[in-house]
Amino acid sequence: MLERHQVEAFLTLAEELHFGRTAERIRVTPTRVSQTIRKLERIVGAELFARTSRRVELTTIGRQLEQDLRPAWTQTIAAFQRAVEAGRGVTGTLRVAFDNVVGGTLLAAAAELFCEKNPDCAVQLREAQLREIMHWLCENEVDVACSALPIQEQSIMAGHTLISEPRLLAVSSSHPLARQNSVSIEELAGVTVLRPPEFLAKSLCDEHAPCAAEQPIGYGPSAATFQGLLVLVGAGRGVLAVGASVATYYPWPQISYIPFRNAEPVEWGLIWRAANTNARVQAFIGSARELC
C-alpha cells in the first residue's frame, strides 16, 4: 500500500525532474527523495525515472503512473481540505473576480452580506479582462467569479441564475438598424457580427452572436477586451449582442442599443472550480442567492 510521503515525492519529482528542487518542495533531503523513489521502483518492479548525471526523465511506466495517480491524488487532497475548512468554519480570505460592471456590482453587494454573516473571513475583489476569468479559476488565483451563463467547461461549476436582463443589439449609430425600434435574431444573417474572442469559453460564444437564422452569420473582426469590441461597434465594423445593462454603463454617442424581439435574456451567475467547493465558496454562493 502506498504511503502519503511516497506519492508526494513521486508526483513532485515528476513535475520538477530534479532531486534537489523536489527535496526543497517537500522539505526533506535529496537522499531521502532518492531512497523513496528507489523503494517505489522496487514495489513496481521497474524504473520510474531514467537518471543521468545531467537530467532526470520519466520512463514510459513512470509517465503512465503519474497520469493515473495525479487526478486521484488531487481529489483526495481537495476532499481533505474541504473537511478541514468545514471543521474550522468560514475563515481566511475568499478571492472573487468580475470582468464587467454587472458582475462587480453583484459581487460587491454579496461580499458585504457575506462578511456580515462571516466576520472571520475577508473578501478580496479582483477586476479581470475577458480572457482572465477562466485562467484565474483554473490556476486557482481566484475562488469564485461572476460570469454570463451557461458555462459548460470541464471542472467548472456554475450556480443558479442570479441576474437576468433583456438582450440588446449594439450597432453603430450610423447603421441602418439604428433607425429601428427593435430587431430579430434572423436579421443578424444580413449584417456583420463581431467575432467572439478565440479564448472565450465555447459555451459563451452565443452570448455575443445568438443565431437562429437560416442563413449563416457573417463574422467580422474581434477584440481582446469588451471595450475593444464596443470600439469596433462604434466604428461600424460590426454589431454585438449585449445585456441591457451595457446601455446604462456604456452610453457611447457612436453606439445605439436596439432591443431584440425574440432573443433569450442574458443570464449571470457565479462559477467556481469543482475541486474548490469549500466552506467559504458555499457560504458566498448562499449570500449571493439570498441577495438576489
CA atoms within 13 A on the CB side of 18: 6
Determine contact, residues 223/231, Cβ cutoff 8 Å. yes
Give the cell for residue 257. Answer: 442599443
Give the cell for residue 94. Answer: 475568499
Which amino acid is present at 240? L
Bridge partners (DSSP) of residue 122 are 93
* Burial tier of 219 (Cβ tally within 10 Å: 0-12, 13-18, 19+): middle
Q: What are the tens digits of pLDDT across the range 60-73?
A: 999 999 999 988 88
What domains sit in the chain, N to C, each tagged with a CATH number?
A: 4-86 (1.10.10.10), 89-163+268-291 (3.40.190.10), 167-264 (3.40.190.10)
Under the banding of pLDDT at 50, 70 and 90, the label for residue 87 is low
Bond into 251 cis (ω within 30): no
Q: What is the mean pLDDT of residues 254-279?
A: 91
Whose cell is 481537495? That residue is 78
Residue in 69, 84, 92 with CA at minimum distance from that of residue 14: 69
- Residue 190 predicted with pLDDT over 90: no
Q: What is the DSSP string of 120-153?
A: TEEEEEEE--TTHHHHHHHTTS-SEEEEEE----
**CA-CA distances (angstroms) from residue 176 to 179, 191, 216?**
6, 10, 20
Determine contact, residues 94/119, Cβ cutoff 8 Å. no
Q: Cα–Cα distance between 220 and 238 in angstroms, integer?
A: 6
Q: What is the mean pLDDT of residues 196-225?
A: 69
Q: Cα–Cα distance between 121 and 94 in angstroms, integer?
A: 7
3-state DSSP assignment of residue 268:
strand
Q: What is the pTM of this model?
A: 0.67
Rounded to 10 degrees, what is the CA torsion of 250, 255, 256, 258?
A: -80
- Residue 212 predicted with pLDDT over 60: no
Q: Cα–Cα distance between 136 and 128 in angstroms, integer?
A: 9
Q: Cα–Cα distance between 207 and 84 in angstroms, integer?
A: 39
Q: What are the tens digits of pLDDT across the range 98-150?
A: 988 889 999 999 999 999 999 989 999 999 988 888 889 988 899 999 998 88
Give the cell for residue 281. Answer: 465558496
